[in-house]
Structure 1
């Protein structure tokens, strides 16, 4: 993940180069745009983040309209770099991602080792967030985060959204909570597969390696969200989005769907059921 301050400074440097290539001084550009002269300096040295309106004015007055789309994409990445998803800010992040989901018509989501958030049960969410809290620390906001994530799931039933989830079979075997929680969660996956606008595929454990195993979601063809250990990466450049699309297509081609996917899920459920039976007999 790019350092937020460095990303903002790099954007400012690029804007300074555009201004100089146009043969304009900072004072001249400020006059054309109707800004205070200090605003130019603050933006160019990374002390102030420009808005999209600022970028449009900058490109208009420097005859650099062709560079505007990439500058806007860079601005979005700068803004996203400040959206840390450390444990203490999970509820806030849930609200941000909820808007992205509500605005998108097609969401393609790959999770190699966990069930995607939109398909998680309440107890599964608790288990995931408790693990995150243990890693990151911070104030206890689990209940608020669970409520926010469950609220997000309403998008599955509203509007004309379409969803294509691909998960690794490892997600069926990565125990979150206990066998009882896992049985409930896997049953939820079976239910989700019956929803009219949801496709769920499962990449078998022994499938050949095709793409780096990191989770990401593609919103239409406009944006990608990918998680790292320390932050959420937002991708908006068309070339990079295309790379994620190719990766998603690669894992989707490997995924079991329909009855084959159901068989993988029920096999895991039977395993957890046997564990529960064994545990009850021991007691």
Structure 2
């Protein structure tokens, strides 16, 4: 099945309808299908009504229970992949407004407990100084005042002790000259200060440090249920368990390569002194 990026995330209802049709063709009730899949009947009902987005594993279980033919397995599995993957291009993000995007991120952070951020080229807004935040949005063609306020307001979540944050930054992300050298030194000082929070881990990967794979993109994982990948053209949102797991595994590899705690603070102090000189 071929598709355009804009189709991603838009096939949920089509998937629900197809699964319901297949169940009826197989002559099974929702109760019998649920028993075969070891699911609750209410979950099967919510999937068929488009109220719950099934994972690829859920869909595979249902297709096996229905003894679906190979061509139908391929078609429905492709629909499931589309339903669990969403693409947001920059035009869409700008049309909705950067302030709206900050509200979406705030909701994601509020609903998650374990958050992991791999930062390849810049410091995330959660860790940024006000000057860094404003400079990071300076090239936007739209009004950024609400976005700046939203980014700064979101930082309060770092002090929620019920949540655990791990940030891994490359040396490039920390030292990229988004602001003047003095302001960049202040940004590094803030990273060092935040690393003392008991629920915040900040790791650094110095240039030249070996990593298990070559990092290609900035990405974030929210618990084990969602991953977002940032590219220069837009944002990719993954909800399938196996896709999210692959990014969690990649993140774990970077953790092994990173400096944490006092080692990280010493490196930040070295880079900060270099900026001030």
The normalised TM-score by structure 2 is 0.74
Q: Distance in 2 between matches of 1:91 and 1:57?
A: 28
Matches within 5 A, 1:16-95: 17-22=18-23, 54-55=49-50, 66-67=61-62, 74-75=82-83, 77-78=85-86, 81=88, 84-86=92-94, 89-95=97-103
The normalised TM-score by structure 1 is 0.73
RMSD: 3.2
Which 5+ residue runs of structure 1 have no aligned equivalent? 25-31, 33-50, 275-283
- The offset of 1:120, in angstroms, is 0.5
Q: Is the 1:108–1:164 contact (alpha carbons within 8 Å) kept by the matching residues of 2? A: yes
Q: Is the 1:180–1:272 contact (alpha carbons within 8 Å) kept by the matching residues of 2? A: yes
Match of 1:48 in 2: none
Match of 2:265 in 1: 262
Runs of 4+ in 1 over 6 A off after TM superposition: 70-73
Q: Which moved more, 1:265-274 or 1:206-215?
A: 206-215
- The offset of 1:207, in angstroms, is 1.5
Among residues 187, 211, 216, which one is paired with 1:213 in the alignment?
A: 216
Q: Is the 2:8–2:82 contact (alpha carbons within 8 Å) kept by the matching residues of 1? A: no
Match of 2:252 in 1: 249
Q: Distance in 2 between matches of 1:186 and 1:106?
A: 24
Q: Is the 1:211–1:250 contact (alpha carbons within 8 Å) kept by the matching residues of 2? A: no
Are the structure 2 counterparts of residues 2 and 97 from structure 1 closer, same or farther at C-alpha, using a change threshold of 3 Å?
Answer: farther
How many positions carry a matched residue from both structures? 236
Among residues 96, 99, 120, which one is paired with 1:112 in the alignment?
A: 120
Q: Does 1:173 align with 2:181?
A: no
More helix by share: 1
Which 5+ residue runs of structure 2 have no aligned equivalent? 31-45, 64-76
Match of 1:153 in 2: 155
Are the structure 2 counterparts of residues 6 and 174 from structure 1 closer, same or farther at C-alpha, using a change threshold of 3 Å?
Answer: closer
